[in-house]
Amino acid sequence: MSFKEKVIYQIYPKSFLDTNQDGVGDLPGIEQKLPYLKRLGVDMVWLSPIYPSPQKDNGYDVADYTSINPMFGTMNDFDSLMATAKKYGIEIMLDMVFNHVSTEHEWFQKALAGDKKYQDYFILREEPTDWVSKFGGNAWASFGDTGKYYLHLYDITQADLNWRNPEVREELFNVLRFWMDKGIKGFRFDVINVIGKDEVLKNCPENDGKPAYTDKPIAHEFIRMMNQATYGKDAEIVTVGEMSFTTIEDCILYTNPKREELNMTFNFHHLKVDYKDGKKWTLMPFDFEKLKELFHTWGTQMSEGSGWNALFWNNHDQPRALNRFIDVDNYRVVGSKMLASSIHLNRGTPYIYMGEEIGMLDPDFDKMEDYVDVESLNAYQELLDAGKSEQEAFKVVKAKSRDNSRTPMQWDSGEYSGFSQSAPWLGLGKSADEINVAKELQEGSIFTYYQQLIKLRKEYPVIAEGSYEAFLPEHPQIYGFVRRLEGHSLLVLNNFFSQETTIKLPKECLSGEVLIDNYETKSFEQELRLKPYQTIAIYY
């Protein structure tokens, strides 16, 4: 099966299912729920990092790339998970955090101890630049008592690796080979487009320094080397790169098959349309015109350039999309389905983030003490320092925190929602008694709708392979697009608002059939009235 036909499900292991009752999810918990994922119909499961880590950034600060963090289990547990997944026809994708390592990693500790070989594994300078860390503050920290500084584009405990050093590259390629030997068929590369730093680093006040290290030509060279040395030798392996502050032009280069880099890329531009003045820690309603323009531009140009998008609304770094784009008090169910259709019928490979298939919401925490995410804690302090009151700062964090998506999976309405018998590492959402898997499977319709979408991708080649064209790009409420392949077309219409609206369908649609619709439309005429948050797909 081509990566274009697959549907991938992301699990945040800490929050999926706890089987040893320590309040933290584990690998046996994931294995236990494979029948549920098989029932949903997904082809591959992406696991956020499961490696040893001090957890300063919830596992994205890796201390050992080829071992299992004891909090998640053992390597035997991992092997068992792999074997059971194979029985269910589900492949596993691992998260590769190759831009940086934890400062507790053996390499960094040896460098600190004075080993010249390992000092060249990192980016050390006597004169730091003006770059700003993605988590706030300076991107440089003192390297012991050497008088030098090490680069950390993220948390101070995450030291950037020097990809210009061939020994570093070979170390990382060996990590991939290790997991390929274990049977892994997917790799998600964390912020992979920032690995290509220049030899001479320069100040860059624009955008906190991002243009100085993002999407550099040498990053493409490094990724191509990695492809040719490792996963490119196995045509079944699926690769996706997380791209920070990226461009369409670069994502076409990363994913055009002729270039032998990656299968697909994540970009986050569509999830910044509620950033006031481009800044995350602000509040504003989402900008639909901007959202629509981004979807159309990326869809059209990636199609024309033979690039490939990884499509998603939710992941471990984002608040729940329902809270951002839908009136959840009145339209949570139909809104869930509309958002699902808008990506699952689109051109690209769709990703489902755990809980999305049952319409999970942000947790609605009451106080700052409920949050544990380092980025959120830093942002709260920065908001206070900027003059916001505690109430104002908390309101922003409550809307934008990464912890909103990291709360435990809501399996049932028990004390800890079936996630654990002990207090979980992060609090549960307030909606757990009303929104959980047990209740959804018994009386809900969102899960079933996702099953239908996944099935359609397998049955209709136009969904997996078709081109992309914008439809009614000027409409103030509708995000619409047309997919075409070998004489077949699919028109997809998504009303992003709680108000009804009317559109005129192309005549060629009138003899078509409704493939899927969240209001169960039986028939239609050229004048089509779309209900609040309605989505409809017409095949002709």
Q: Say if residues 194 and 99 touch (Cβ distance below 8 Å).
A: yes
Q: What's the rounded Cα separation, in Å, for the pair 200 and 189?
A: 25
Q: What's the rounded Cα separation, in Å, for the pair 83 and 339?
A: 33
Q: Which CATH number fits domain 100-160: 3.30.70.2740, 3.90.400.10, 1.25.60.10, 3.40.50.2300?
A: 3.90.400.10
Paired residues of 503 in beta bridges: 528
Residue 421: phi, psi to the nearest 5? -100, 0
Q: Where are the domains of the chain?
A: 8-99+166-450, 100-160, 467-539
Q: What is the pLDDT of residue 236?
A: 98
Active site includes 130?
A: no
Q: What is the pLDDT of residue 520?
A: 87
Paired residues of 101 in beta bridges: 159
Task: Out of 190, 362, 440, 469, pick the active-site residue.
Answer: 190
The third-level CATH classification (topology) of the domain covering 467-539 is Immunoglobulin-like (2.60.40)
Q: What's the rounded Cα separation, in Å, for the pair 259 and 49?
A: 28
Tokens of 409: 């999976």
Is the Cα torsion angle 183, 187, 190, 191 positive or negative in sign? positive
- Give the residue ranges of DSSP H helices in 355-485: 374-385, 390-400, 437-443, 446-459, 461-465
Paired residues of 132 in beta bridges: 138
Between the alpha carbon of residue 374 and those of residues 55, 64, 157, 366, 386, the distances in Å are 10, 21, 11, 18, 18
Pairing of strands 310-311, 349-353: parallel
Angle, vertex CA 433, rays to CA 10 and CA 497, nearest 5: 65
Q: Say if residues 155 and 167 touch (Cβ distance below 8 Å).
A: no
Q: What is the dihedral of CA 292, 293, 294, 298, to 10 degrees?
A: 110
Task: Out of 155, 160, 242, 357, pick the active-site residue.
Answer: 242
Active site includes 329?
A: no
For the stretch 389-426, pLDDT in tens is 999 999 999 999 999 999 999 999 999 999 999 999 99
Q: What is the pLDDT of residue 522?
A: 80
Q: What's the rounded Cα separation, in Å, for the pair 101 and 449?
A: 40
The third-level CATH classification (topology) of the domain covering 8-99+166-450 is TIM Barrel (3.20.20)
Q: What is the pLDDT of residue 61?
A: 98
Q: Say if residues 128 and 121 touch (Cβ distance below 8 Å).
A: no
Q: What is the pLDDT of residue 523?
A: 87
- In one letter, which amino acid is 237? I
pLDDT in tens, the chain (540 residues): 999 999 999 999 999 999 999 999 999 999 999 999 999 999 999 999 999 999 999 999 999 999 999 999 999 999 999 999 999 999 999 999 999 999 999 999 999 999 999 999 999 999 999 999 999 899 999 999 999 999 999 999 999 999 999 999 999 999 999 999 999 999 999 999 999 999 999 999 999 999 999 999 999 999 999 999 999 999 999 999 999 999 999 999 999 999 999 999 999 999 999 999 999 999 999 999 999 999 999 999 999 999 999 999 999 999 999 999 999 999 999 999 999 999 999 999 999 999 999 999 999 999 999 999 999 999 999 999 999 999 999 999 999 999 999 999 999 999 999 999 999 999 999 999 999 999 999 999 999 999 999 999 999 999 999 999 999 999 999 999 999 999 999 999 999 999 999 999 999 999 999 999 999 888 899 999 999 999 999 999
Q: Is 334 helix (H, G, I), strand (E, B) or coil?
A: helix
The one-character DSSP state at 409 is P
Angle, vertex CA 253, rays to CA 250 and CA 258, nearest 5: 175
